Chain A
Amino acid sequence: MSEWQSQRLARQARLEAGAILAVGGGKLVAAGDATALLEAVLRPGDRVCLEGDNQKQADFLAAALVKADRARLHDLHIVQSGVTLPEHLDLFAKGIATRLDFSYSGPQSGAIARALNSGKIQLGAIHTYLELFARYFIDLTPHAALIAAVSADRAGNLYTGPNTEDTPTIVEATAFKNGIVVAQVNQVVDRVPRVDIPGDRVDFVIAAPKPFFVEPLFTRDPAQITDTQILIAMLALKGIYAEYGVQRLNHGIGFGTAAIELLLPTFGEALGLKGKVATHWALNPHPTLIPAIESGWVQQIHCFGSEVGMDEYLRARPDIFFTGNDGSLRSNRAFCQTAGLYACDMFIGSTLQIDLAGNSSTVTPTRIPGFGGAPNMGSDAHGRRHASAAWLKAGREASDGPAAMTRGRKLVVQLLETFGEGMTPTFVEELASVEFAKKMRLEVVPVMIYGDDVTHVVTEEGIANLLLCRTPAEREQAIRGVAGFTAVGRARDRAQVAKLRARGIIRRPEDLGINPLDANRQLLAARSVKDLVQWSGGLYAPPGKFRNW
């Protein structure tokens, strides 16, 4: 026996321990034996990926793992993109898990901050999605992956359905490195609609009593979009989309970008931009993009995941979306993140807080929501080598060197209202995450998007084009110049800001020929979720929490 085989032998032993629980020597395990199975195939100290991201959750397996006997399972190292269920935190409270590497915490952002504070969690790092996926293949390879799928056949072939998301990446890293893959499925069928994960990568399958949970994270109710957000969207469309001719892009999930999506068929149409901008997307299936799709603006969209209620619409629009032979959407977070990083000319999204250098963060003193994908979307990929008009224009604006040797730049646009919820200023001298990092003794301050990647800041006061700034002092005044009546805005150097405006670095609504009084909800292509349903021809079926009928 060679010591080169130790992982494979360990896997064999785990499989044999689990096989005792499998029905008739196959891969199927009864739901009631889920905890026993995990106790049999996991070992203390294992790195475990308990599949969960910002959308779908292997929630049944998470609950089963929480019930494990701590004498048998302890000190697990959880390596997963989303820590979003209460069960994920319970693992640490019970001592079943002690170490954590993750990307996103969303609804658990307060609980995770408290657990970090109390020492229940030893934090490795907070990653972006792509970073964590990358580390799965280098030094955070899971010993076991507990995943979720829509259906399985008896050979373990999985249909993940429209919400494929992280599954292929997790399984790739685990199954090909002697790990164990356990899948919870909504149902066991004779034949899966399509094979998203081949059966020989899946060791055990459990039919869960309830379908796995999916969060409708990307649904923005048009009824909540404000006139201010509409003004900001108009500025962005006319001052950035039109000027750079941005065709390939990614949108964030806030109301600011939802407003832009709903202005494409109205304000965008009036600007004559149809077919010239916003044609190719790396984007989740945002319901607010339906009117633009139906109006013929969009040529193609690749998706990180799906969105609750959009499945039938997506199935009916295969010219636009990626679908399998069965007709349903195929999403893939790792590929879509890569696409957003390398194949898109612009990321545009809202942020909660921005400092004088343009660094932004969503961390507050008591919450750490993590990063998700925004830092990858919102950064210039230095490995990019192909040109596009938008990319070159941005690069040349930022450089005084010879054009031939000037690399392009990704447009990274931050949308903000100068005052956020509860009239808190969004422009600050110091990000709240700086204090948070001190308190948590983090090695790096959590920054969503670094200022040196940001190209434009758009507020209701206007657009600050940071590409055209030549010194840090100019950048600071450009940012102060669009910060309105916040303390940061009031401390601007009036003469400097006037000079920046003369140079086109700051552009007010009137400089762009936009009258703020024209910014109102009448411009939205859809003003309610019901309007979106009508646009979709009845194919979009919004979840209950977004209905008002």
Chain B
Amino acid sequence: MKNALVPSRTGSWYEATARERISGLLDAGTFHEFLGPTARAVSPHLALFDLPEAFDDGIIVGRGKLQGRAVLVAAQEGRFMGGTFGEVHGAKLVGLLRYARDHHAEATSPRAVLLLLDTGGVRLQEANVGELAVSEIIRALVEARAAGVAVIALVGGRAGAFGGGGILAACCSRVVISEQGRTSVSGPEVIETNMGAEEFDSLDRPLVWRTTGGKTRRLLGGAGAYAADRIESFRAAALALLDGGIPAFDLATLAREQARLAERLEKFGACQDAPEIWQRMRLADAARIADLADEDFNQIAQAQPEANHDAR
């Protein structure tokens, strides 16, 4: 029996490097990098640990065009030190977000920042400066949003968006996530180490995914769009979000978000595992969510009130 699957499916977001993601995401040839590898802005700390540096410190920042509109982009390289926030890594992102904050008024200014998160959180070797960097990024992100810039997180890499990356995703105007993508603050291993395997078994990968994974985040409204694991799918989802309008970052939006989270806690707070939530939501395929194909899942998610809201 022949299988219809094409052997080589090009353009997987999960498989791609940060640079491949950027070049597939933006209009061809439009990307201009700030402080690229030739500038050799490397971590001042890794050498102390006899660890290799990267010339871009694991993050690429710059500007380009998305379907003709000017955007700023930052992409973390999950394969370098788990995409972690070090001092230089963080400073590049802070600079990008401040640029967005300060240069959005002119007609040709970028009005959106795309954050291609792929990170395990703060780089342990740069602990304090890394934590500081995350705080500065959050401040810069919030200031950019307050200035009217849309900040969209795209999550679907190997490292997910954990630690500070999980907080950043939650601060964004919108989040696009794929099935492979995960967002959370404490990662599975961290929870297991602190609370025991009975609390959270990090080796139980279906449990990890149905707790932190893209489908769960989408259904609970943590992500506003679900993309198939293809670069073109992330591109289409980001465009659709920008076209669909970005909620204003004001008191009314924050109050709506507060109300939404309070309601969510009330409805689902007692649930022990994600499938219980799907049952309470009365989803048709509650037991099979993890196995649903992307298109089928998207239909369910789009019809789900909890998953679609203007609060952020």
Contacts and interface: CB of A to CB of B under 8 A. Distances in A.
Contacts of B179: 549
B3 A537 contact: yes
A521 B15 contact: yes
Contact of A295 (B3, B9, B206): B3
Interface size class, chain B: 20 to 34
Contacts of B259: none
Nearest to B12: A527
Given A521-B15, A522-B8, A548 B3 contact: no
A294 interface: yes
Contacts of A545: 203-205
Given A521-B15, A527-B12, A549 B213 contact: yes
Nearest to B6: A525
B39 interface: no
B223 to A, nearest CB: 15
Main secondary structure of the interface of A (DSSP, over half): helix
12 contacts: A266-B8, A295-B2, A295-B3, A296-B2, A531-B5, A531-B9, A544-B203, A544-B205, A544-B206, A544-B207, A547-B205, A547-B206
Contacts of B3: 291, 294-295, 534-535, 537
Most buried by A among B8, B12, B203, B207: B8
Interface in B1-43: 1-3, 5, 7-10, 12, 14-15
Most buried by B among A524, A545, A547: A547
A384 B140 CA distance: 74
Interface string A66-80: 000000000000000
A296 B72 CA distance: 48
A527 B206 contact: no
Interface residues of A, number: 24
A299 to B, nearest CB: 14
A547 B209 contact: yes
Given A521-B15, A549-B179, A549-B213, A535 B5 contact: yes
B24 to A, nearest CB: 13
A535 B12 CA distance: 17
A445 interface: no
Given A294-B1, A294-B3, A521-B15, A549 B290 contact: yes
B15 A527 contact: yes
Contacts of B9: 527, 531
Main secondary structure of the interface of B (DSSP, over half): loop
B119 interface: no
A54 B291 CA distance: 30
Interface in A312-350: none
Interface of A: 265-266, 291, 294-296, 521-525, 527-528, 531, 534-535, 537-538, 544-549
B180 interface: yes
Interface in B221-256: none
A294 B2 contact: yes
Nearest to B158: A223
Contacts of B12: 527
Interface string B192-211: 00000000000111110100
Contact of B180 (A525, A538, A549): A549
A524 B15 CA distance: 12
Contacts of B8: 266, 522-525
Interface in B105-120: none
A546 B209 CA distance: 12
Given A295-B2, A547-B209, A549-B179, A525 B7 contact: yes
Interface string B211-224: 00101000000000
Nearest to A531: B5
B179 to A, nearest CB: 5
A261 to B, nearest CB: 13
A521 B11 CA distance: 11
A266 B209 contact: no
A531 B4 CA distance: 12
Nearest to A266: B7
8 A-B pairs with least C-beta separation: A525-B7, A294-B3, A547-B205, A544-B206, A266-B7, A522-B8, A549-B179, A547-B206
A534 B5 contact: yes
A527 B229 CA distance: 12
Contacts of A522: 8, 10
A107 to B, nearest CB: 14
Interface string B254-297: 00000000000000000000000000000000000011000000
A548 B209 contact: yes
B188 to A, nearest CB: 12
A523 B209 CA distance: 27
Contact of A544 (B7, B10, B204): B204
A524 B1 CA distance: 20
B5 A548 contact: no
Given A294-B1, A534-B5, 17 more contacts: A266-B8, A522-B10, A523-B8, A527-B15, A531-B5, A531-B9, A537-B1, A538-B291, A544-B206, A545-B203, A545-B204, A545-B205, A547-B205, A548-B209, A549-B180, A549-B209, A549-B215
A546 B179 CA distance: 15
A523 B215 CA distance: 28
Nearest to A527: B15
Contact of B7 (A291, A296, A537, A548): A291
B1 A548 contact: no
A117 B215 CA distance: 51
Contacts of A266: 7-8
A544 B206 CA distance: 6
